[in-house]
Structure 1
């Protein structure tokens, strides 16, 4: 399968490129930087990556690029993906998450590829906000109640995908992944920052792990399972449909920290940092992934203990390397 990935140099993009290559696909992609980070430099041997900013793109140029690549599957990952950062730059978040999706889908329409490529739009489970009790675990029929610019813009991009499927006949499916984590994730995200801080304390660079509100419960899927689901949706999802992606099991963040501390090579002190407590936080968010499983037969493979151990091992390598 010929695959084209937006945001290919990011955390999920790198894992997706690795999975696609391992599955025998031809892979090309774009990102705002136009290059892989140093720890993914080997991917540049097998993946053609080009610099392209979806917020400031010439639609005809992007359509021409798609004609040259002739993708059979397009994975749209490019996004401002941090909910907290979206409060600092709501306009930029909307410009990329909704405007960038409009630019991509418009270019797909203009390119007029035959057969039509399957476009997998990656949304987010946080678009459901704080679900009513009757919608827990969260199904796709749960009302949308986004409480930050990130989740609102992702919900709007999903609706755009549905609209352009119905009005323009584009072959689009929407994935709504809930929280995911794994090696190489940025410390801007809670499990990654816990792993990174434990590694720093082990190395003598900090005296304690600083935390915010750890009483929340989230549905964490290993990123390596997430990218498998994306490829399965590219092959077997139904056009115009939305699919929740998660394990269906909740993880309390205090329990995640306890598991990291159990893996540590020395006793680790923990202290509350008020700056890390979010003004808007959802107490409980767990997916019902039964629609996805019925459609493509996906099941998660990586248990959470392996995910956390792999994240801590990765954090130790990064801390040791400066």
Structure 2
């Protein structure tokens, strides 16, 4: 297949791009235009020379449509995803996440392209019941999550209104090599790897369902291949719940470090904006896609953490991160 990946220069997007190339697909990587001609994580990718790269901006409908021409499917991952920055600059989240998604599905309607749209577990807000199924109410507890709810609804509206083939993949908290230090697992790892033993974090009691990036990528690809995914919202999660505090302890153990945790007020979300609990029901993905996490449960989580820590502690990779600076 000829496949377009928006956000191919990012964390999940670069892993997805590499895997689809390995599987023999003709991949066009949509990266954010910049004057440095940087392709993000793809600059260092072993498959860089095999890519058809399109530099553009997801907010530009003309460019999006040009990039999608000739493609059988588009994996739409381009988005602003940092929750703290959405408190700071919410308007950019509407432009990028909502309008950007509209540009993708509008072009897909005109061109007959299948869309695999990226959602997020943050759209559920604090769990009202667990494990969280796809029928759980949506709660916009941050400008980021509100923008993603809007993006999901725009995408699904094109399926319902125009029969545009849209599948919505809803990954829970993905982690792994290349993730931004604005996320909690890289924050912990990079602080420890840089020699710090008093680790600065926000709230420790919230729970998350962490999903290793290899599993998330496999879920995306399974949704892209399956006709049963069209018109559906599908959770991609490990079905394992762990607190932030316990996550820090697991990371410290994997890295052989004794740590103390210090609460940093800058890292705390506003009280009503904090998502207290996330735990995925992944039975729909198992049934429709035949997908199951390889890194599931506590032992799978420990394995994923070990692989992630190994990547981050490579001096060449660690040098890319500013462990002493809070990244919103």
Normalization by structure 2: what TM-score?
0.89
Unaligned residue ranges in structure 1 (runs of 5+): none
Alignment partner of 1:319 is 2:322: no
Tell whether the 8 Å contact from 2:4 to 2:75 is kept in structure 1 after alignment: yes
Alignment partner of 1:15 is 2:15: yes
Tell whether the 8 Å contact from 2:141 to 2:275 is kept in structure 1 after alignment: no
> SS state of the match for residue 174, structure 1?
strand
Matches within 5 A, 1:134-283: 135-201=129-195, 206=196, 208-236=198-226, 237-279=228-270, 280-283=273-276
Tell whether the 8 Å contact from 2:4 to 2:28 is kept in structure 1 after alignment: yes
1:285 is matched with which residue?
278
Unaligned residue ranges in structure 2 (runs of 5+): 322-328
Normalization by structure 1: what TM-score?
0.90
2:324 is matched with which residue?
none
Tell whether the 8 Å contact from 2:285 to 2:291 is kept in structure 1 after alignment: yes
Q: Distance between the aligned counterparts of 1:96 and 1:194, measured in 2?
A: 28
Structure 1 residue runs of 4+, over 6 Å off? none
Q: Give the alignment's Cα RMSD to 1 decimal.
A: 1.8
1:63 is matched with which residue?
65
Tell whether the 8 Å contact from 1:161 to 1:240 is kept in structure 2 after alignment: no
Q: Deviation per CA, 1:225-246, whole angstroms, max 9, x where unpaired?
A: 1011001001114321111111
Question: Against the structure 1 CA distance between its residues 139 and 266, is the aligned structure 2 distance closer, same or farther, given a 3 Å change threshold?
Answer: closer
Q: Deviation per CA, 1:94-152, whole angstroms, max 9, x where unpaired?
A: 11000000011112223x3xxx33210001111111232xx311111111111111111
1:117 to 113, 117, 122: 113
Question: Against the structure 1 CA distance between its residues 58 and 319, is the aligned structure 2 distance closer, same or farther, given a 3 Å change threshold?
Answer: closer
1:130 is matched with which residue?
126
1:48 is matched with which residue?
52
How many residue pairs get aligned? The number is 308
Q: Deviation per CA, 1:43-95, whole angstroms, max 9, x where unpaired?
A: 3211121211011x142x4334322xx22221000000111211111110011
Q: Distance between the aligned counterparts of 1:189 and 1:261, measured in 2?
A: 16
